[in-house]
């Protein structure tokens, strides 16, 4: 079975055991037999008991990451990569080794967005497992791409909201500056990826969780797009800040396109540096490993 839980939370383990058959049948129906088999193989190969954490201190101890006590449930990616780009925006070493892990706890459920519409902790785990679905099926996972591209957009900030980004960008570069334009193009693409990543995930949540009687509200679905307009040296740029990015697409088509995201996402303008950054992440070779294996590799690399 593709959907499984190998962590230590007994109550969640019981929930998963009771719903596992229905949820896996729903994944098979949504994804089709070929994609479901790929997911099942990735789950079998990559997920082990050591992939699951139920307290933030263990995450820090094993992975070195620092999660606040009020962290919501999440899928985590451990990576070994050098994403340095050359002066043209091309990744120098286009290889990433990565392993999935999950932080899933009672407190993590209480702090999750899912807790706002259901009392079933399994729903929050399904949300995180849906992130694993994309990770397993996308040639280059959006989870990786959004982090890489956001980092190259800079200036950095915690929320990456449009107003905050524009304030920082204008503080560091004149708006007519060539580098500012490159960063603006990259940022707009990162913004699109982030939105597609989260909203397509919620659509998959809705489709999967309906199999166990959980309704996922999508207040933004079928709502008109909202934009913030920014003047640039090549014209006005409309950065989406709300509404439905999947107008005229049914849920099944959204899921299909999310799996094949490089075929459906494009920057609003083309320039050498920004094009190279975006093409580089789409062509990077991704090796997926179990968590124990990547921790061993990271230890050897550090010696």
What is the pLDDT confidence band of residue 215, given thresholds at 50, 70 and 90? very high
**7 DSSP assignment:** S
180 vs 110: CA distance, rounded Å: 40
Contact between residue 75 and residue 132 where contact means Cβ atoms under 8 Å apart = yes
pLDDT tens digits, 25-82: 999 999 999 999 999 999 999 999 999 999 999 998 998 877 888 999 999 999 998 8
State residue 259's pLDDT score: 96
The pTM score is 0.90
**225 DSSP assignment:** P
What is the pLDDT confidence band of residue 303, given thresholds at 50, 70 and 90? very low
Cβ contacts of residue 149 below 8 Å, gap of 6+? 186, 189, 190, 193, 277, 278, 281
State residue 255's pLDDT score: 97
């Amino acid at each position: 079975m593709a959907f499984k839980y190998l962590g230590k939370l007994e109550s969640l383990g019981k929930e998963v055991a009771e719903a596992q058959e229905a949820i896996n049948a729903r994944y098979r129906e949504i994804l089709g037999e070929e994609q479901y088999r790929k997911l099942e193989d990735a789950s079998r190969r990559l997920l082990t008991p050591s992939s699951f954490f139920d307290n933030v201190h263990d995450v820090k101890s094993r992975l070195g990451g620092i999660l606040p006590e009020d962290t919501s449930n999440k899928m985590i990616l451990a990576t070994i990569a050098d994403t340095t780009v050359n002066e043209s925006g091309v990744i120098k070493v286009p290889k990433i080794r990565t392993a999935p892990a999950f932080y899933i706890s009672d407190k993590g459920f209480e702090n999750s967005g899912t807790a706002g519409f259901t009392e079933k902790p399994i729903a929050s785990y399904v949300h995180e497992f849906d992130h694993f679905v994309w990770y397993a099926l996308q040639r280059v996972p959006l989870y990786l791409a959004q982090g890489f591209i956001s980092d190259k957009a800079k200036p950095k900030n915690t929320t990456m909201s449009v107003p905050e980004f524009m304030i920082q960008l204008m503080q560091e570069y004149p708006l007519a500056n060539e580098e500012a334009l490159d960063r603006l193009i990259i940022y707009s693409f990162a913004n699109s990826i982030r939105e597609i990543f989260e909203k397509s995930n919620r659509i998959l949540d809705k489709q999967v969780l309906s199999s166990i009687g959980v309704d996922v509200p999508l207040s933004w679905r079928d709502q008109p797009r909202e934009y913030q307009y920014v003047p640039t040296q090549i014209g006005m740029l409309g950065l989406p800040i709300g509404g439905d990015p999947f107008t005229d697409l049914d849920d099944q088509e959204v899921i299909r396109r999310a799996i094949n995201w490089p075929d459906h996402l494009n920057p609003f303008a083309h320039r050498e540096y920004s094009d190279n950054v975006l093409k580089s992440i789409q062509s990077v070779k991704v090796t997926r490993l179990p968590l124990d294996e990547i921790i061993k590799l990271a230890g050897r690399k550090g010696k």
